[in-house]
Amino acid sequence: MKSLAHIHLRDPYILPVPSVKKYYLYGTEGATAWSGNPVGFDAYVSEDLIHWEGPHAVFRPAEGFWSDHHYWAPEVYAFGEKYVMFASFKADRICRGTQALVADHPLGPFCPLGERPLTPPDWECLDGTLYTDEDGNHWMIFCKEWLQVKDGEMYAIPLSHNLDMPAGEPVLLFRASQAPWSKPGGGGEHVTDGPFLHRMESGELIMLWSSGGTKGYTMGIARSLSGKVTGPWKQGTQPLFGEDGGHGMIFRDLDGRLRMTIHSPNAHPMERPVIFELIEQEDRLTLAPTND
C-alpha cells in the first residue's frame, strides 16, 4: 500500500465505483510526463482515499498506435456497461489530441475508441473532459494550446452518442486572458489547462480550469451564465487554488462528501496528487479547513 505522497502523478483523476466500494486513481505518469517514452497509463485502487494499491497497467498501446510520447491526463467515466477514458497523446509531426478509449473494467485494458482523436487534426489540443448536458447530449471540453494560439483557448465540441467521433464543430468558450487571475508566462503566453465541469446543487454550471498565476500553477472557476456548456462563461476574480497546484476534478466520496483532487506542487519531479474536501454554499465552492 502507498500513500499519495509516494505516487508520482500529475493531472490526477479519481473515479468512485460504489458497487465495489472502491476508488480508482488515474493520472499522467510523472517520470515520463515531459520526456522519455511512456509505457502507457496505470491506475491505483483504494477503499479509503488514504491507502492506495498499485500500480495496475490499464493501457498499453498496441503496435501501430499513432502516438509515442506525451501520454497525458487520462480521465475515466462509467458509460453504460463500459468505462471510457479520454486522454491526450502526441507524436512527431502530428498535433497533440485527445483520444477516447474503452474498457469493460476500470482497470482496463483500455483500447482506442474510434479511428482518430476527437480534437481537430490541425489543432494542438489537450485535456479533453466529458460532459453530458440536461438533454443527454455528450460534449468534450478541451484546450487549444498556447503553443499554437499564444492566448490559450477553451472549446466544447459535441460528440456522437457512443463518443467515438465528433458530432459538430468546436465552439469557443473563452480565452485564458479573460480571467483576472491568469498571468502570462515569460513569452506573454496565457495557458488553458485541465477543464472540469461541475453542476452545483443550485443548478449552476461551473468549470474548474488552470493557468499561470502569481504563485505558479493556479486553478480558478468560470460560471456559465446560461447554465449550458456553450455559455457565455464568466470568470471568477480570484483563484480557487493559487499555491502552485491545479488540474483539478471534483467527485463525491462513498459517504457523499464533495471532494477535489489536484496535483501540487507543479514542479517536476515533486508533483503529487492531493485531495481536499470542498464546501458548497450559496453558489460558492471553498476548501474545507484541514487539520494540518
Q: How far apart are the first and last CA of the chain?
A: 22
Question: Residue 255, Cα to own-chain centre: how many angstroms?
Answer: 23
Does pTM top 0.95 for this prediction?
yes
Reference 247, options 11, 3, 13, 8; nearest CA is 11
pLDDT over threshold 80, residue 290:
no
Please report the pLDDT score of residue 115 as a whole number. Answer: 85
Residue with cell 506525451: 70
Residue 173's pLDDT band (boundaries 50, 70, 90)?
Answer: very high
- What's the whole-number mean pLDDT along residues 251-268? 97
pLDDT in tens, 64-99: 999 999 999 999 999 999 999 999 999 999 999 999
Residue 36's pLDDT band (boundaries 50, 70, 90)?
Answer: confident
Reference 117, options 127, 107, 105, 132; nearest CA is 127
Please report the pLDDT score of residue 261 as a whole number. Answer: 98
- What's the whole-number mean pLDDT along residues 112-119? 94
pLDDT in tens, 265-282: 999 999 999 999 999 988
Residue 35's pLDDT band (boundaries 50, 70, 90)?
Answer: confident
Q: Are 190 and 212 in contact (CB under 8 A)?
A: yes
The total of other beta-carbon atoms located within 10 Å of residue 272's CB is 21
CA distance 167 to 4: 38
Residue with cell 500529475: 10
Reference 249, options 231, 261, 266; nearest CA is 261
Please report the pLDDT score of residue 291 as a whole number. Answer: 64
Residue 227's Cβ-side half-sphere holds a number of Cα atoms within 13 Å equal to 8
CA distance 249 to 246: 9
Percent pLDDT > 70 in the chain is: 99
CA distance 124 to 107: 29
CATH number of 4-287, picked from 2.115.10.20, 2.70.70.10, 2.30.40.10, 2.170.150.20: 2.115.10.20
CA distance 221 to 210: 9
Q: What are phi and psi of 229, to 5 degrees?
A: -65, -30
